[in-house]
């Protein structure tokens, strides 16, 4: 570099510094993109799945309580309230489950979701049967159906939901670990790039002014 004029050396040094800054920015951008993707996997996909499944579990528990109340109490107020709560719980569950096909990615989770939907259909049919028996004042038959059919169906339904939820919790843990790894990699890569840029900047500065 001593063979070049000062103006040439300064221009070359400036160009190299600009190149270094561009490389540094590229490293930061790439690392940020990787971290963002990992975080989105947690916040935009895995967590909404878990929230939807929690709604399903809460909704089935609510229905179980209201089915019991319908069988235990003759009050018209309690009967009306219980039926409305069952209707609301079913609507909330339907909304939550409708979101899952667009969020679930793996074939294993899709298979588990299909099992959940199958158990839900069975539970809904038995619930309607129970309500129909109560509407017809066939209380003894209704209570037998509640104990022998509806409650076992509820347990099977919830077991399938919990199985899918456990699988998704593993997915959340994996995605969270990937996000943390991406954050550490970003910090390391940027730090190394900055250190290299500083060293090269000093070298260029020394080389430019050494022969002045």
Most confidently predicted of 24-33, 115-124, 187-196 = 115-124
pLDDT tens figures, 109-127? 999 999 999 999 999 999 9
Q: For residue 101, count CB atoms less than 10 angstroms from its CB and return exposed for 0-12, middle for 13-18, buried for 19 or more.
A: exposed
Q: Give the tens place of pLDDT for each residue, 122-152.
A: 999 999 999 999 999 999 999 999 999 999 9
Work out the average pLDDT over 165-184.
75
Question: Using CA of residue 52, residue 57, residue 62, residue 67, what is the dihedral sign?
Answer: positive
- Which pair of tokens denotes residue 121? 């259909």
Mean of the pLDDT values across residues 195-201?
70
What pTM value is reported for the model?
Answer: 0.69
pLDDT at 41: 58
What percentage of residues in the chain have a pLDDT greater than 70? 67
CB atoms within 10 A of CB 173: 12
What is the rounded CA–CA span in Å between residue 212 and residue 208?
8
**Confidence class for position 188, pLDDT limits 50, 70, 90:** confident
Distance CA 49, CA 27 (A): 32
Residue 208's pLDDT band (boundaries 50, 70, 90)?
Answer: low
69 near 143, Cβ under 8 Å?
no
d(CA 186, CA 181): 9
3-state SS class at 171: helix
Residues 42-87 have pLDDT tens digits of 555 778 888 999 999 999 999 999 999 999 998 999 999 999 999 9
Neighbours of 117 (CB within 10 A): 14
User: Which pLDDT does position 122 carry in this prediction?
Assistant: 96
């Amino acid at each position: 570099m001593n063979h070049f004029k000062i103006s040439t050396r300064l221009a070359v040094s400036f160009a190299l510094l600009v190149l270094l800054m561009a490389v540094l920015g590229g490293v930061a951008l790439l690392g940020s993109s990787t971290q963002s993707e990992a975080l989105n996997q947690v916040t935009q996909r895995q967590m909404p799945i878990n929230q939807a499944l929690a709604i399903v579990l809460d909704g089935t528990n609510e229905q179980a309580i209201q089915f019991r109340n319908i069988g235990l109490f003759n009050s018209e107020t309690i009967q009306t309230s219980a039926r409305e709560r069952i209707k609301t719980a079913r609507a909330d569950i339907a909304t939550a489950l409708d979101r899952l096909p667009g969020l679930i990615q793996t074939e294993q989770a899709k298979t588990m979701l299909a099992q959940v939907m199958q158990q839900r259909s069975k539970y809904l049919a038995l619930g309607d049967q129970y309500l129909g028996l109560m509407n017809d004042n066939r209380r003894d038959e209704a209570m037998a159906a509640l104990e022998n059919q509806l409650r076992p169906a509820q347990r099977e339904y919830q077991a399938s939901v919990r199985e899918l939820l456990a699988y998704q919790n593993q997915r959340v843990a994996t995605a969270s670990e990937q996000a943390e790894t991406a954050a550490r990699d970003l910090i390391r890569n940027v730090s190394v790039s900055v250190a290299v840029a500083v060293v090269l900047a000093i070298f260029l500065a020394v080389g430019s002014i050494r022969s002045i």
